[in-house]
Amino acid sequence: MAEQKKVLRLKSQAKEIRKEILTMIHAAQSGHPGGSLSAADMMTALYFDELRLNPENPQWEERDRFVLSKGHACPVLYTCLALRGFFPKEELVTLREEGSILQGHPDMKRCPGVDISTGSLGQGLSAAVGMALCAKRDQKSFRVFCMVGDGESNEGQIWEAVEVAAKYNLDNLIILLDRNRLQNDGTCEEIMPNGNLVDKFTAFGCQVWEIDGHDMETILDTLDEIHADHSGKPKCVVAHTVKGKGVFFMENAVEWHGMAPNDDQFARALKDIEEGF
């Protein structure tokens, strides 16, 4: 069981990350708050506890890799990178500006700490599989984490990538499925039902955990269990989340998939985060 001191530290960090997400999207008047907020707790656990990284040497060969396959949720990734010291925090308010290192989707050629450029949904997991396969063949110990959206899982390429991961026993690959049940145009159920994703990933050859993606203690315990797993299978965490988590008027609201708050909404959102965590 995770230490309570660590849990409280990471919950406080996740609160700060949510504020920064909202601040940068408000400043840009563009971006994707819903899926960034739903991923904030898992991303906090990764970047402030789990991942083996070196901000002073972003290309360190032995680092763990992270792929944000749902690239539109880049505000949460950029915030984690900035607060870990990959680049100055002041850069966050340049989101989506011309010439900024922080474009609307992650760009590995511009932004320190981004391991692969993503954005076209369904493709990031294939890149992560390639990284994990290279690690195996080169006898490297780094792990590859990949965050995938549930709407993104409508893409057939996701399942082709999982098949390859299972065939080559890529137990150094950890898939984090952000199961917030909403996508750009509506609910996942009405657009294209996902079915039982736990059963699907299991049938495709993964070792699967199903968790509350906002329970920090559970997230940490699950990552510990993944460390201890020796099944030889790729890992998948199906994390049930709430789109827009922490901002009451954004929670489970499709319209906040890709809309920036105005001044009044921004003030209300920060108040929700402050009072709700």
- Confidence class of residue 214 from pLDDT cuts 50, 70 and 90? very high
pLDDT band at residue 236 using 50, 70 and 90 as cut-offs:
very high
CA-based nearest residue to 244, from 98, 5, 75, 29 = 75
pLDDT computed for residue 256 by the predictor: 98
Average pLDDT over residues 57-78: 98
| 269: Cα separation from own chain's centroid | 21
Could you tell me the CATH number of the domain that includes residue 99? 3.40.50.970
Domain carrying residue 162: 4-276
Q: What is the DSSP letter of 48?
A: I
Which residue's entry shows tokens 């965490």? 237
- DSSP, collapsed to helix, strand or coil, labels residue 53 as coil
Q: How many domains are contained in the chain? A: 1
Predicted confidence at residue 8, as pLDDT, reads: 97
**What is the predicted pLDDT for the residue at 203?**
98
Q: pLDDT band at residue 260, thresholds of 50, 70 and 90?
A: very high
Across 8-20, average pLDDT? 98
pLDDT reading at 276 higher than 90: no
Q: H-helix or E-strand containing 211?
A: strand 207-212
User: Which range (2-6, 28-32, 81-85) has the least confidence?
Assistant: 2-6
Amino acid at 203: A
Statement: the pTM of the whole predicted model exceeds 0.95: yes
**Residue tagged 């989340």 (tokens):** 241
**Rounded Cα gap, residues 57 and 70, in angstroms:** 25
Q: What is the pLDDT of residues 46-61, one digit of tens each?
A: 999 999 999 999 999 9
The arithmetic mean of pLDDT across residues 241-270, rounded, is 98
Residue with the two structure tokens 């299978």:
233
Q: Which residues pair with 235 in a beta bridge?
A: 174, 207
* pLDDT (0 to 100) of residue 251: 98
Q: How many CB atoms lie within 10 A of CB 160?
A: 15
Angle at Cα 251 formed by Cα 274 and Cα 148, nearest 5°?
105
Section 130-159 average pLDDT = 98
Kindly state the helix (H) or strand (E) to which residue 241 belongs, with its residue range: none
Name the DSSP letter for residue 194. Answer: -
pLDDT-based confidence at 1, cuts 50/70/90?
confident
Calculate what percentage of the chain has a pLDDT beyond 70: 100
Q: Which residues contact 3 (CB under 8 A, 6 or more apart)?
A: none
Residue 243, both tokens: 């789109």
Given this model, what pLDDT does residue 2 score? Answer: 84
For β-strands 182-183 and 186-187, DSSP reports them as antiparallel
DSSP H helical ranges for the chain: 4-28, 33-38, 40-45, 74-84, 124-137, 156-167, 188-191, 197-203, 216-228, 263-276
List, in order, residues 6 or more apart from 204 with CB less than 8 Å away.
159, 162, 163, 166
Residues 6+ apart with CB under 8 A from 29: 260
Question: Exposed e or buried b for every residue in 193-207, given b needs 16+ CB within 10 A?
Answer: ebeebbebbeebbbb
- Whether the pLDDT of residue 175 is over 80: the answer is yes
DSSP symbol at 70: S
Residue 277 has pLDDT above 80, yes or no: no
CA distance 188 to 167: 29
Q: What is the pLDDT of residue 149?
A: 98
Give the residue-averaged pLDDT of 61-72: 98
Q: Express as a percent the part of the chain with pLDDT over 90.
A: 99
**Which residue matches tokens 């590995």?**
108
